[in-house]
């Protein structure tokens, strides 16, 4: 299968699985193409601009944006989701698609960090948490100079100001910030570069998942 066929087959598998297991709020082909596949690819230039090497997609859900990005770049990828049924489905998708560059972890991100410390050139996250929390979660996974690529929708100014006030202490600097206004949706891709280790001992967080899928 070529890349286009792989992305479509992945979506077919997601929609099929979603009939029996709730893995996404999106249940139509057109919405899936737009809100999962196309939206995942919005961050492709940012991943291509990251240093060479593997990336981790944290809180991957049905595999977005991790699977489309792994297909398009051919980079090695680790998709992390601690909900076991989602991780099992991710395993089955990856197997069915024959994606040898993609591995799955069913651990919590905080636990996977111990095993994969400093291993990733980039970390992607969509619809997982607030920016400051993403910065904490991704820090141990990133290699020095690695990029945290955050897919945000509309963001309260307060969230951004808070995250930016922490960037130095958390060992980051803002690399890029791009807003895409497509159709009726706003997508903002914020990239933070890891420039050092955090100056704070980071607390262990619980329950990061957002209520809304996107
Ligand atoms: C709202 S969904 C987003 C899924 C996908 N990234 C997307 O945009 O469609 C958030 C996902 O993160 C997972 N998750 C939340 N907290 C996590 C944690 N601490 N460790 C691993 N996975 C987590 C949840 O199981 C859920 O599948």
Residues in the chain: 214
Question: Bridge-partner residues for 178, per DSSP?
Answer: 189
* pLDDT digits 0-9 by tens, 153-206: 877 888 889 999 999 999 999 999 999 887 777 889 999 999 999 885 655 554
**Does residue 209 lie in a domain region?**
no
User: Can you give the residue range of the structural domain that contains 182?
Assistant: 3-194
**C-alpha 205 to ligand 1 mean position (Å):** 14
ipTM score: 0.99
The verdict on residue 207 lying in a domain is no
Question: Is 145 part of a structural domain of the chain?
Answer: yes
Between residues 155 and 28, the one the model is more confident about:
28
Domain count, the chain: 1
Three-state SS letters, 169-195: CCCEEEEEEEEEEECCEEEEEEEEEEC
Measured CA to CA, the distance from residue 172 to residue 133 in angstroms comes to 13
Does any domain span residue 70? yes
The DSSP code sequence of 98-162 is T-TTEEEE-S-HHHHHHHTTT-EEEEEEESSS-HHHHHHHHGGGEEEEEEEEEEESS--HHHHHH
* 53-57, 74-78, 92-96, 113-117, range with the lowest pLDDT: 113-117
In a domain, 189, yes or no: yes
- Coil, helix or strand at residue 79: strand
125-165 confidence digits (pLDDT tens): 999 999 999 999 999 999 999 999 999 987 788 888 999 99
List strands edge to edge, sheet with 102-105: 102-105, 77-80, 55-58, 120-126, 142-152, 185-194, 172-182
- pTM, entire model: 0.93
Any domain includes 44: yes
Residue 62 Cα to ligand 1 middle (Å) = 9
Can you give the CATH number for the domain in which 64 is found? 3.40.50.150
210 inside domain:
no
Residue 39 · residue 64 · CB < 8 Å: yes
> Pocket around ligand 1: residues whose beta carbon is below 6 Å from it?
59-62, 64, 80-83, 86, 108-109, 126-128, 208-210, 213
* Structural domain contains residue 21: yes
Distance in Å, CA 63 to ligand 1 centroid:
10
Residues annotated in the binding site for S-adenosyl-L-methionine, as ranges?
A: 59, 64, 109-110, 126
């Amino acid at each position: 299968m070529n890349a286009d066929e792989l992305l479509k087959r992945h979506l077919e598998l997601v929609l099929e699985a979603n009939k029996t297991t709730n893995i996404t709020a999106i249940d139509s082909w057109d919405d899936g193409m737009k809100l999962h596949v196309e939206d995942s690819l919005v961050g492709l230039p940012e991943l291509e601009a990251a240093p060479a090497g593997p990336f981790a997609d944290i809180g991957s859900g049905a595999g977005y944006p991790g699977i489309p990005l792994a297909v398009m770049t051919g980079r090695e990828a680790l998709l992390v989701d601690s909900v076991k049924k989602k991780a099992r489905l991710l395993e089955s998708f990856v197997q069915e698609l024959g994606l040898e560059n993609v591995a799955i972890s069913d651990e919590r991100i905080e636990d996977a960090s111990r095993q994969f410390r400093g291993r990733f050139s980039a970390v992607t996250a969509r619809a997982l948490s607030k920016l400051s929390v993403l910065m904490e979660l991704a820090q141990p996974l990133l290699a020095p100079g690695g990029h945290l690529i955050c897919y945000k929708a509309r963001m309260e100014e307060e969230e951004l100001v808070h995250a930016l006030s922490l960037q130095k202490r958390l060992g980051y600097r803002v690399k890029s910030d791009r807003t895409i206004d497509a159709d009726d949706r706003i997508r903002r891709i914020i990239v933070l570069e890891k420039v050092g280790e955090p100056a704070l001992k980071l607390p262990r967080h619980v329950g990061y998942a957002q209520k809304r899928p996107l």
